[in-house]
Structure 1
Amino acid sequence: MSRTMHIDVRLLPVYDRLPFDKLYPGCAALLRDVGKKSLLEKTPTLYHLVDELVRTARDPNVSGLWKKVLQKHVPELVRCRDQAREALLARELRELDQMLYRLEDLFDDLDKDLRWEVPSGKA
């Protein structure tokens, strides 16, 4: 590494059009309902939210309605996040970009199912 410079490649949340809770109201309702409202204030990336969804899916205190949807979506979210991580570590930015778009699509699907299964936002 250079003495005066370093390379910094990282993922940053960018919600240009709407904040996270407006783009993904089902996911926001889930996080609020399971006591993780503070995550919404931190504006995490979808990449970083995958770990939180894994923990939520395993939490014995989380309602079965939420878990039903999470169990359907979490495996593919983890797979996509892992592929994105590999691309990030290998500095394969084109592949990383594709995986991040895929992750957004997976979150869209998750959000739609969350709103369908728990329309009130409280399970």
Structure 2
Amino acid sequence: MKRKGGELMAYGLERSIKRAYDPSGVKRTSNLMSPIVALEGHGSDVFGCAFHPEGKYLASAGFDRQVLLWNVYGECENISSFTGHSGAVMDIKFSTDGNTIFTCATDMTVALWDVMAGQRIKKLKGHTW
């Protein structure tokens, strides 16, 4: 995760950058783009990450079949994990209201997760390569 002005950025293996804006963010005093924090918790490669619409959480997903929810501010700790896919989780998105996380995995399913309850609320089967 990187911070530039009031903007938070995160990236995984694909180097695709996700952004969340916080106007009260810490101002950078350098042009160096070094990470200010490394979030560690996945047992393997991370394939995707997404910011909550309000920018207060970051969700990550990867080869270890887990979805991890991180607090973006303060201690930047892992506050929840969702399990239920039997294959690597390839992508992740938040709903526009931030109450649901959508994931897709190599087990050919799409899952909907309740963010506050930390549980899968729907499993859609039948996707193919």
User: When the two structures are superposed, what TM-score results if normalisation uses the length of structure 2?
Assistant: 0.22
Structure number with the higher helix fraction is: 1
Which structure is richer in relative contact order (CA contacts within 8 A, separation 6 or more)?
Answer: 1
Structure number with the higher strand fraction is: 2
User: When the two structures are superposed, what TM-score results if normalisation uses the length of structure 1?
Assistant: 0.23
Higher alpha-carbon Rg: 1
